[in-house]
Amino acid sequence: MLRGSIGVYFVVTKISTGETSAFKQGEENMAGVEQIILQDVVQIKLEELEQHESDIRTLREQKDQKEMQEGKAVIEDTDMPLKILAQALASASRALDLYEVFDCIAFAAYIKKDFDKMHGPGWQCVDSVVGTNFSCFFNHFKGTFIYFALETLNFLIFKGISSNSTSS
């Protein structure tokens, strides 16, 4: 505020545009000051709201991605009955709790032994880190095949049969 022989003035600078305006003290001029301040405050609040909405969208997307990666399997292909399918997912989940993510041999061995114990010998398990490639050709008993992703790993579980037997 400046005082002098001319009177008292308010100098208002709009944050959004950088414009500076001077208003002489008095009721009729205060309405102009209030309008400039109110417009700036509304603009700032709208920008803050847009930023918060953007932050919320980002957090929701991150949460959805994390949930997909934590314990939710994506089944690519299967011919297993639901009961055995659920056992395959549970066995893979237990293996993830027991071993380091990059210890693929331990994962595969754990799941194979688990299935051999539950459903008799002959089960095979192949796993790989998502983003790496593997190919295979195999014969399996009908109703014993599943290929799925869980967290950062892909799993292929099946009960193998000899190549001269009937396969699916």
pLDDT in tens, 84-103: 988 999 998 888 889 887 78
Same domain, 76 and 148: yes
Whether 62 and 76 share a structural domain: no
Provide the domain limits for residue 24: 9-66
Q: From 31, 46, 66, give the residue that closes a domain.
A: 66
The CATH number linked to 136 is: 3.30.740.10
Q: What does pTM read for this prediction?
A: 0.52
Tell me whether residue 30 is in a domain.
Answer: yes
Residue by residue, DSSP assigns 12-51 as EE-TTT--EEEEESSHHHHHHHHHHHHHHHHHHHHHHHHH
Tell me: the pLDDT tens digits for 41-66?
777 788 888 888 888 887 777 665 55
Highest mean pLDDT (candidates 9-23, 25-39, 97-111, 122-136): 97-111
Give dist(CA 35, CA 8) in Å, integer.
Answer: 19
* Residue 157 exposure: Cα atoms within 13 Å on the Cβ side: 34
Q: What residue has token string 């299935």?
A: 115
Domain count, the chain: 2
Pairing of strands 73-78, 123-129: unpaired
- pLDDT above 90 for 113: yes
Q: Report the alpha-carbon distance of residue 39 to residue 137 in Å, rounded.
A: 69
